[in-house]
Amino acid sequence: MKILPIPVLLLVAALSATPARAQEPAVPLPKVGGYFQLRETAQEQVGLSALLNRARISVDGSLPNQFSYRGLLEMEASTGSRTPATVSLREAVIRWNPAPFSIYAGQYKVPFSREYLIPVPLVETADFAACVDSIAPKYDIGVTAEYAPGALGSLAVGIFNGEGQNSTVNRDSVAMLVARIVARPIPQLALGANATRDGADSSRWGVEANAEELGAVVRSEYLVRHRRGRASDQDDFGWYVFGGYRVMRFVQLIGRQEDFQRPSYGISRRVRATTLGVNLDLAPNRVKLLLEGVRRMSGANQTRVDAFIAQLQARF
């Protein structure tokens, strides 16, 4: 019988005596999802045009000790009518959630404006209201702390670069501070307020209300942006009122009235619009067809432009 050398025997004995390492908690596999939006638009003096409005893929997962993560990639981010679309990172978030508190950091939607914070696949209209799209901060890089004591409401406070998404540096070294509070006096009603301080030269604020009952929803917001040294009657401001009613489980009628103004630029920057449409859930929570008519008044002469939009959305 062959006898192992003494050094090998000592190594085997040492390894056998070493206590086993504690087994690391298993990490669940990430959930991959996403959605596509295909849009056809018929507009006066423009004609018919097709658009891949959005093509996004997301990855969500949980980690030990109440941590989680999310990534969202835009596969077809529009860059204008004269240049091709590109791939763009939308969200990259790490979240710690020892309820009722949560802290999340990375790139994500700034907590401002109820309509903008609705996940895009759940937004009832083809586009955000003009005041939301123009005044509300979009995706940015920062940190947010949130307190949500059950159904009573929530309070969120965050600090961001203020440079927008995918910016690698805070160019002006001034942080954007954001606060958002939402209260639910009754389960069917939510009242909220938002405010930002974009350094010493700019601030934004807004108020909102949302009511839902028996398939009906009414939502409204009023948003303002103020710049230092400019009279308050020259502030950018706007509002919208949205209403929806589910007449059948898979049919929702929608309507929205809106107005956005920039007095410092005159009447040419005012946008008024009326939207009427219907959402058809062809496959509940998976495939939705939106048919929408929009009448918009804008420009120095407040010229009327009518458009019809058909948008097919698939979630996976």
pLDDT in tens, 133-173: 999 999 999 999 999 998 899 999 999 998 888 887 877 77
For the chain, list the domains and their CATH numbers.
Answer: 28-315 (2.40.160.10)
For residue 255, what pLDDT is reported? 98
Is the per-residue pLDDT at 313 higher than 70?
A: yes
Supply 272's token pair: 């008024």
Q: What is the pLDDT of residues 255-298, one digit of tens each?
A: 999 999 999 888 888 999 999 999 999 999 999 999 999 999 99
Identify the pLDDT of residue 123: 96
pLDDT band of residue 1 (cuts 50, 70, 90) is very low
pLDDT the model gives residue 82: 66
- Residue 266 vs residue 209, higher pLDDT: 209
More confident residue, 35 or 14: 35
**Coil, helix or strand for 162?**
coil
CA distances for 39 relative to 52, 99, 286, 288, angstroms: 6, 40, 16, 12
Question: Could you report the per-residue pLDDT of 116-128, keeping only the tens digit for each?
Answer: 999 999 999 999 9
Instruction: Give the predicted TM-score (pTM) of the model.
Output: 0.85
Q: How far apart are CA 157 and CA 103, in angstroms?
A: 10
* Residues facing 34 on adjacent strands: 57
- Whether pLDDT at 252 is above 80: yes
